[in-house]
């Protein structure tokens, strides 16, 4: 069994999906992990997420903790709170909207060897409206090229990270660019990176906050600022460990 794991979910207006998500999560953790905790970051939700989480906390105490942002801090702000709250050796997160299946978490845990710093999921097939798939593909290709990131799917929020590495880096993004910042800074540590194919499902409830004009403008503005800080004004660091022959250490 996996020794030590923090799991957290950023949640914004995800009240309908959280009960099933947490039920599945605790079932998986009880079977595969010795020492675990679950954190949900309620990022200023305007629906009844707070009430749903209050009831769920009674069911899953003491392993479930709730962090509440009185005001929405953005996706980056929610992730930063989740990382800061984690206490175990590894940290896994995915979104609270249920578009990824926590049942696939053991596949990531199996690849977290002693030298591995990041196990990153990549979508085998994306189940979203066509315009979102197109925007996502353009964003992913653009960000990978701009920052020289080697993992194939920056936009896949299904990640397992060694917590000691999170303590070495400082994250400042408040929008979805935090995924670029996180992966780039982890690669710069020289840690071993592995990739695992995961399934992506159609959103059953609500709508994405990322694919709105205002959010996209903010994201690309922060992406430019991130580029200046991480690429233009920072000297080259030790490259992350991938397979020899120029390939990434990927497993599907």
Query: What CATH number is associated with residue 153?
Result: 3.90.550.10
Q: Which domain holds residue 56?
A: 2-241
pTM recorded for the entire structure = 0.87
Q: Is the dihedral of CA 18, 20, 24, 29 positive or negative?
A: positive
Q: Which two tokens stand for residue 177?
A: 């660019």
Those residues whose C-beta lies under 8 Å from the C-beta of residue 131, and which sit 6 or more positions away, are 211
* 173 within domain boundaries: yes
Query: For residue 248, is pLDDT > 70?
Result: no
- Of 172, 163, 28, 140, whose CA–CA distance to 92 is shortest? 163
Backbone angles phi, psi at 67, to 5 degrees: -115, 130
pLDDT tens sequence across 64-98: 999 999 999 999 999 999 999 999 999 999 999 98
* 248 within domain boundaries: no
Query: For residue 134, is pLDDT > 70?
Result: yes
Out of 147-156, 196-205, 240-249, pick the least confident: 240-249
Cα distance between residue 210 and residue 191, in whole Å? 29
* 110 within domain boundaries: yes
Query: For residue 228, is pLDDT > 80?
Result: yes
* 252 within domain boundaries: no
Strand pairing report for 2-11 and 33-43: parallel
Percent of the chain with pLDDT over 70: 86
**Peptide bond just before 36 cis, omega within 30 deg:** no
pLDDT tens sequence across 34-59: 999 999 999 999 999 999 999 999 99
Cα distance between residue 110 and residue 5, in whole Å? 13
Backbone angles phi, psi at 204, to 5 degrees: -90, -30
Query: For residue 182, is pLDDT > 50?
Result: yes
Those residues whose C-beta lies under 8 Å from the C-beta of residue 230, and which sit 6 or more positions away, are 147, 181, 184, 185, 188
* 204 within domain boundaries: yes
- Of 6, 37, 22, 12, whose CA–CA distance to 176 is shortest? 12
Q: How many domains is the chain built from?
A: 1
Query: For residue 145, is pLDDT > 80?
Result: yes
């Amino acid at each position: 069994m996996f020794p030590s794991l923090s799991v957290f979910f950023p949640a914004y207006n995800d009240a309908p999906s959280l009960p099933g998500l947490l039920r599945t999560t605790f079932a998986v953790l009880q079977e595969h992990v010795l020492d675990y905790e679950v954190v949900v970051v309620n990022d200023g939700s305007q629906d009844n997420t707070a009430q749903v989480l209050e009831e769920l906390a009674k069911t899953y105490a003491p392993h479930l903790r709730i962090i509440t942002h009185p005001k929405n801090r953005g996706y980056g702000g929610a992730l930063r709170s989740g990382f800061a709250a984690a206490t175990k050796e590894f940290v896994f997160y995915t979104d609270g909207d249920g578009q990824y299946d926590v049942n696939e978490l053991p596949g990531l845990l199996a690849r977290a060897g002693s030298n591995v710093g990041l196990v990153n999921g990549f979508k085998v097939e994306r189940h979203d409206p066509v315009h979102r798939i197109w925007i996502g593909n353009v964003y992913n290709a653009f960000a990978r090229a701009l920052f020289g990131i080697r993992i194939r799917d920056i936009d896949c929020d299904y990640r397992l990270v060694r917590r000691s590495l999170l303590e070495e880096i400082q994250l400042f993004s408040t929008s979805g660019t935090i995924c670029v910042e996180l992966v780039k800074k982890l690669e710069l540590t020289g840690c071993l990176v592995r990739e695992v194919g995961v399934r992506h499902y159609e959103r059953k409830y609500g709508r994405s906050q990322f694919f709105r004009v205002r959010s996209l403008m903010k994201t690309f503005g922060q992406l430019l600022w991130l580029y200046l800080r991480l690429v233009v004004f920072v000297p080259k660091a030790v490259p992350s460990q991938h397979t020899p022959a120029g390939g990434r250490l990927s497993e599907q």
